[in-house]
Structure 1
């Protein structure tokens, strides 16, 4: 006999977006004294005939957008949304997909997506002149999905922005391997020019993608946070390999400008090699918060209490993915002592719903209203 929950479907057309938006906006304004809890109860195994591919780019570009979205919708109807979670998916075309919109080429592997120089293959830094190209195949595919989602869903499912990437991350796709590292020394002015040009292309892509989704109730990216005003999770994974001095010269100015141009922003701090840059990040007045990810092989996120305290002491917000471990998340939140700064993200199986509800009660988070 099938699990009873497999016969239960969420009526996405009846989802209370007004409540959801009001809660997130109150949190952004600092009016809530509790964490935001965006932990989705996932569809149980066997609940749908076909599960969405992790990367939307891995569907052959000849597959109609409507078919891809139908698979997404069928899955999302089998999920349960408590507290601050909401029906959503995002345009996952791999990290740093902007490279494929400015002359680079995108490639789908078995479990990942990566980008190569494309038309800039034989160019040094001085020879690369990036500009956003709306006719690029990867942007046209994203455009196709956006138009279909806006028409078919009309706002009942939120479609999050693609992972455009950080400026130096995108440059590293065009100058791969050690070439970008050498160029920081040999051609610093050219790298700064490239950074400015990619910054311009980034915001043009961001503007166009969101303009294609007028029915969206707000903004989100791959991190799942919701905002009624333009928001993005910024990053620079490349900075793992450079000193704080180089970070100040090549990364911080563009990053700070991005924070000023966006109404709201977080930074994806990926790996302990980026920790030396944390003081500079926290010095950006417009940066709203930090997502700290220790990285593979490191101690779990909840053991880095000093990092989170530094973020909280700077008045910044904190994003954590609980991976279903509610007790560890609670210990971290209590140790920092500022629950209102936290966004708690994750996905759990239906059998763990009681644990989620206990966690919500602990922090006086309404399960639903």
Structure 2
């Protein structure tokens, strides 16, 4: 019927996904890492990634990789590295190191993309001063001249690879949970957005060379899961703007008359009221409740001056008793676009907005749509 929305909803810090329950699991999983070659606490790092603190986490992670590289080089220079078995282990460590670097790039790229979409926690978990948290620093193993050094370096690399996969899993789970919330709320209104069902529909990104070596397929599968989860979240979040679920009076929320049967203000008898009435001073700006096309601007019996908007969902919203029009028929409007001014034209006892939602030309309760908008506002920063 008409084009796709062109306006992106604003983001605010703290809006979006809050996978707080994951932190406990991370702390248990990584709590035994304090005495490894590189002592670190991964759970706060994952939290920082989800909080958009990418520069801090990336820098610390790269420091760890550099420390591992120094240790591998040190082991290469030892006399025991000349033996066949040890030399083979060193070659394997070098390969693992390259895989670790590739994993780091994937986590970095996807964390940045998630942050751009607003997938972040409200705040990082607090750490009490008394908590036993090891600092991010190198813990040099004893240079015993044995294969024990190699085993310790290899174990540290393996742990860091596992941490990368856990970070990707956190992003995927968080995006999926928020997507499900959005779809459940919209589904309750009979709105079913088109969702990507495979990587052909997923988000893009800069080219990364294929990851080789141990666990390569695992990390690639995890990254693909995150890409698809982000694509689905983006599609679901965009669908929020397509539905007429946003406040037509901005911060003015007082309702003077609800949907349903009521006492008629003119006759005193029982009568059906097809919408919600928002009292406001004459001239107050009226906003579009969702993206759509203006299909009527003019006077209609009972409504006085009226604006009617048809939305992509098939729903129609009406804004009645207006004092002035700010849009024209055929105009495409976004969520929150100023469309008119409050008045008291038509069958009205004073200045207010009559807000109506219609499905298949039958009036439905606007209250449930505005309630859905309130539930989903955290995903838009509204």
Category of TM-score, reference length = shorter chain? under 0.3
Q: Larger RCO: Structure 1 or Structure 2 (Cα < 8 Å, ≥ 6 residues apart)?
A: 1
TM-score of the pair, normalised by structure 1: 0.23
TM-score of the pair, normalised by structure 2: 0.23
